[in-house]
Amino acid sequence: SKTNESLMQRRHNAVARGVSQIHPIAVQRAENATVWDVEGRQYIDFAGGIAVLNTGHRHPKVMDAVRRQLDQFTHTCFQVLAYEPYIALCERLNEKVPGDFAKKTLLVTTGSEALENAVKIARAATGRAGVIAFTGAYHGRTMMTLSMTGKVVPYSAGMGLMPGGVYRAQFPCPLHGVSDDDAIASIERIFKNDAQPQDIAAIVIEPVQGEGGFYVASPAFMQRLRALCDQHGIMLVADEVQTGAGRTGTFFAMEQMGVAADLTTFAKSIAGGFPVAGVCGRAEVMDAIAPGGLGGTYAGSPLACAAALAVMEVFEEENLLARSRTVGEILTGRLKALAADDKRIGDVRGLGAMVACELFTADGAPDADLTGRIVAAARDKGLILLSCGQYGNVIRILVPLTATDVELHAGMDIIAACFAEL
Ligand code: PMP
């Protein structure tokens, strides 16, 4: 019979080395916040497929919607023959994405593609080519998004220079010595040293950095960014690929920032485990690209659109936005209690259920080694965790919002046991 080890050996031989492996485990099946490996071992899932499973593995309503779609048709290519689930999903997103203006939506397949297209749309709408992105940003692994992603190793190392015209501003992060003022000054510095604002099409920001370490931008900073964009005719792009679909306690994190982006990217949890992503924004901006300039063969797959529509119903029926805030309080409460007795946990933070803690050595250096050991020890005790952060010293939690309190506490008990042992 198959073992994790035998599958890891086959994987090693058959799969390109650049595709890394966080946990040496092969999954057999999954249900809500639980996964079982091929050896029958059970784990609590605090990773959620990297922010894809806010409604859990195989939510029954999502499964039903996909099954119904499966029995009708699975593919036409929307540009060839249209179908209602694509249209209905765009209508729903036009309502849900923050911004008190007429909106239109484009569907694609992955978060990276959504970011690529947001840049294309901003370029077409402004007639400019420059982009400002932030330190620690993660926007994807395609060529343009690699320019925007603020981490060379491992994402673009060995691949040569990525497309030009991307300028790096500092993401505000007081914990590591970057104030809101410093971050704004870094943009002014770009305008002075690198590119005049009239050449910048977009400023792209994650309202809460995901891969970069779960740092929350302050509403005050977002408002200053908005003002800067308005002053210079720059498109503000909110990358809500990781923060969206209810993770932060509102359906989109920008709802808590007091200003709206011109363009919003979404993906991941929007379709509860099926691949759909997209860009939603000001109707006239979205329409800057002529027919034929946007789309893709699988873009807005009917199965994924049906899943996404079901996800939105589940959010309403199960009151998952309120649940997201409660999950956040439970996790943050447990982590803060741990941090009170353990100086290695230097910070506990988050927005809604997007929760993390950051680990430091006794002399205050980021402790990536301890972080890695906690993640491995937790796995051995039956909990799937993820780390993140520019220094690899952040433990992040992306548990399904549909997990029970018992599961949340069982997972936190494992984390507590790991800190006690290591
Ligand atoms: N933007 C953000 C904020 C993300 O977290 C990610 C994925 N981690 C992406 C873009 C890229 O999405 P994908 O992996 O679906 O291309």
CB 118 within 8 A of CB 265: yes
Query: Interior CA angle at 339 toward 333 and 340, to 5°?
Result: 90
Quick one: which of 284, 229, 289 has its CA closest to 260? Answer: 229
CB 266 within 8 A of CB 114: yes
In the chain, the percentage of residues whose pLDDT exceeds 70 is 100
Please compute the mean of the pLDDT values over residues 166-177 and round it to a whole number: 98
Quick one: which of 243, 276, 172, 219 has its CA closest to 396? Answer: 243
Q: Which CATH number fits domain 4-58+319-421: 3.40.190.10, 3.90.1150.10, 3.30.465.10, 3.90.1170.50?
A: 3.90.1150.10
* CA of residue 342 to ligand 1 center, whole Å: 32
Probe residue for ligand 1, chosen from 113, 147, 241, 386 as the CB with the greatest number of ligand atoms within 8 Å = 241
Please compute the mean of the pLDDT values over residues 55-78 and round it to a whole number: 98
pTM comes to 0.98
User: Which long-range contacts does 317-323 make (Cβ < 8 Å, 24+ apart)?
Assistant: 317/61, 318/402, 320/54, 320/55, 320/246, 320/401, 320/402, 321/246, 321/249, 321/250, 321/251, 323/401, 323/402
* CA of residue 373 to ligand 1 center, whole Å: 25
Measured distance CA(374)–CA(418) in Å, rounded: 6
By alpha-carbon position, which residue is closest to atom 12 of ligand 1?
A: 111
* CA of residue 3 to ligand 1 center, whole Å: 30
Probe residue for ligand 1, chosen from 242, 248, 301 as the CB with the greatest number of ligand atoms within 8 Å = 242
pLDDT digits over 250-268, tens only?
999 999 999 999 999 999 9
pLDDT digits over 103-141, tens only?
999 999 999 999 999 999 999 999 999 999 999 999 999
> Which pLDDT score is estimated for 135?
98
Probe residue for ligand 1, chosen from 138, 206, 298 as the CB with the greatest number of ligand atoms within 8 Å = 138
Quick one: which of 245, 277, 300, 252 has its CA closest to 116? Answer: 277
HSE (CB half, 13 Å, CA atoms) of 7?
14
Left if phi > 0, otherwise alpha if psi is -120 to 50, otherwise beta: which for 198?
alpha
pLDDT digits over 353-381, tens only?
999 999 999 999 999 999 999 999 999 99
Burial class (CB in 10 A: 0-12, 13-18, 19+), 412: buried
Measured distance CA(344)–CA(359) in Å, rounded: 5
Measured distance CA(183)–CA(343) in Å, rounded: 28
Measured distance CA(375)–CA(396) in Å, rounded: 10
177 by DSSP, 3-state: which? coil
> Which pLDDT score is estimated for 1?
79
Q: How distant is the alpha carbon of residue 54 from its chain centre?
A: 11
Instruction: Kindly list the domain boundaries of the chain, sorted by start residue.
Output: 4-58+319-421, 73-317
Measured distance CA(136)–CA(205) in Å, rounded: 10
> Which pLDDT score is estimated for 40?
97
Is residue 153 pLDDT above 90, yes or no? yes
**Radius of gyration, CA atoms only, the chain:** 21
73-317: CATH topology is: Aspartate Aminotransferase; domain 2 (3.40.640)
pLDDT digits over 301-329, tens only?
999 999 999 999 999 999 999 999 999 99
Burial class (CB in 10 A: 0-12, 13-18, 19+), 81: exposed
Residues in Cβ contact with 392 at an 8 Å cutoff, skipping those fewer than 6 apart? 366, 368, 371, 372
